[in-house]
């Protein structure tokens, strides 16, 4: 199975998400069979101004491949320069963000703002495609609002500009992350272009992923918020698409093992203070829906030492099953 010419093991990809798809979480998703992973989106302006923090977002490990870097910006020349800088890090794909609805991005004329200026959107896509030898993909939304649906025209222009695949988040800018994703729009885009189409929006289970593919005809699916606290969704989707078999959800102990592994990787990557800060939202998501999750979150917010957090994870997820814990060789 390939995405473009890149071998993959699964048609379900991890979406780029600011504040979430850092290296520790990507490694977890890859180990749980994500077909492709993307890092957090990167400012083209930050790259050309050589921001140290921005460059850190471009780093990844070989085990994360196939790996994509997503950039955003509003100036074709700056985006072209940024793409040449990204090229040095040798990701498998360079993605352009034309869909972010967040105000601080849109007010700079980037992200979803470009759905109201398709000439500039196409110019950016062409400038990036011409500047780099990397495969270029793009992520869009349906349009600015339900009264301004431009997904098919945008996808057609992107294809014409040299973009090799397009992801559609089936919401508008004004919808943000609320309301129900309009999956029929994915099917419309699939019929409008010859390049691969990746569907995105409201995939919370493996069954959702299969249903999106069946209903829209999209080639791949991209999972964002549905993977937070539930990275097993990738393995579950792979099994369901390949064999039609629904596998058992992870046990409490399996959840705990993943929590401990991701927490340790976060400590290694960030150091303790920032590692704990970044992991709190992930640990709360892993506990969500389980008995005692509220108390778990409350206690977690009060802890300031690594061993205290690990002990909390052990008590909550492993409870009295210390033998399982020791057998896994966990921290």
| Residue-range definition of the domain harbouring residue 152 | 2-243
pLDDT at position 101 is 98
pLDDT tens per residue, range 143-201: 999 999 999 999 999 999 999 999 999 999 999 999 999 999 999 999 999 999 999 99
Among 199, 224, 243, give the residue marking a domain's end. 243
- Smallest CA-to-CA distance from 209 within 170, 231, 236 is with 236
**Same structural domain, 226 and 261:** no
Among 185, 215, 243, give the residue marking a domain's end. 243
CATH number at residue 148: 3.20.20.70
Give the Cα separation of 161 and 123 in Å (integer): 8
pLDDT at position 51 is 84
Q: How many domains does the chain have?
A: 2
Q: Which residues make Cβ contacts (< 8 Å) with residue 9, sequence separation at least 6?
A: 1, 33, 35, 238
**Same structural domain, 227 and 275:** no
**Same structural domain, 28 and 163:** yes
**Same structural domain, 181 and 84:** yes
pLDDT at position 326 is 44
**Same structural domain, 106 and 151:** yes
**Same structural domain, 166 and 256:** no
Ranges of the chain whose pLDDT falls below 50: 320-331
CATH number at residue 282: 1.10.1200
Work out whether strand 2-3 and strand 6-7 pair parallel, antiparallel, or are unpaired: antiparallel
pLDDT tens per residue, range 78-98: 999 999 999 999 999 999 999
**Same structural domain, 91 and 6:** yes
Decide if 152 is catalytic: no
**Same structural domain, 205 and 175:** yes
**Same structural domain, 265 and 220:** no
pLDDT at position 319 is 80
pLDDT at position 52 is 85
Among 226, 243, 260, give the residue marking a domain's end. 243
Catalytic residue among 29, 100, 152, 218: 100
């Amino acid at each position: 199975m390939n995405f473009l010419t890149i071998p993959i093991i699964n048609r379900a990809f991890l979406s780029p998400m600011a504040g979430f798809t850092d290296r520790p979480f990507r490694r977890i998703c890859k180990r749980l069979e994500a077909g492709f992973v993307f890092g957090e989106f990167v400012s083209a302006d930050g790259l050309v101004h050589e921001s140290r923090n921005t460059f850190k977002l471009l780093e990844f490990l070989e085990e994360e491949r196939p790996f994509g870097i997503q950039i955003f910006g509003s100036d074709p020349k700056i985006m072209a320069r940024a793409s040449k800088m990204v090229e040095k890090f040798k990701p498998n794909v360079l993605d352009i963000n034309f869909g972010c609805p967040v105000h601080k991005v849109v007010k700079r004329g980037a992200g979803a703002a470009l759905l109201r200026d398709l000439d500039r959107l196409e110019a950016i896509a062409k400038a990036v495609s011409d500047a780099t030898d990397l495969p270029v993909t793009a992520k869009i939304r349906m349009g600015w609002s339900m009264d301004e649906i431009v997904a098919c025209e945008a996808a057609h222009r992107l294809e014409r500009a040299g973009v090799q695949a397009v992801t559609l988040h089936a919401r508008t800018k004004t919808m943000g992350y609320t309301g129900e994703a309009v999956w029929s729009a994915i099917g419309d885009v699939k019929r409008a272009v010859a390049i691969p189409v990746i569907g995105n929006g409201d995939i919370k289970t493996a069954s959702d992923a299969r249903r999106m593919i069946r209903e829209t005809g999209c080639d791949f699916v991209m999972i964002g918020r549905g993977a937070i606290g539930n990275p097993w969704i990738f393995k579950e989707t792979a099994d369901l698409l390949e064999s039609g078999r629904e596998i058992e959800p992870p046990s409490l102990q399996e959840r705990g093992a993943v929590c401990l592994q991701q927490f340790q990787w976060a400590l290694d990557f960030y150091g303790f203070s920032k590692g704990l800060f970044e992991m709190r939202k992930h640990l709360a998501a892993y506990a969500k829906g389980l008995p005692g999750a509220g108390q778990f979150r409350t206690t977690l917010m009060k802890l300031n030492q690594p061993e205290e957090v690990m002990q909390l994870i052990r008590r909550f997820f492993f409870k009295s099953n210390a033998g399982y814990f020791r057998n896994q060789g966990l921290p």
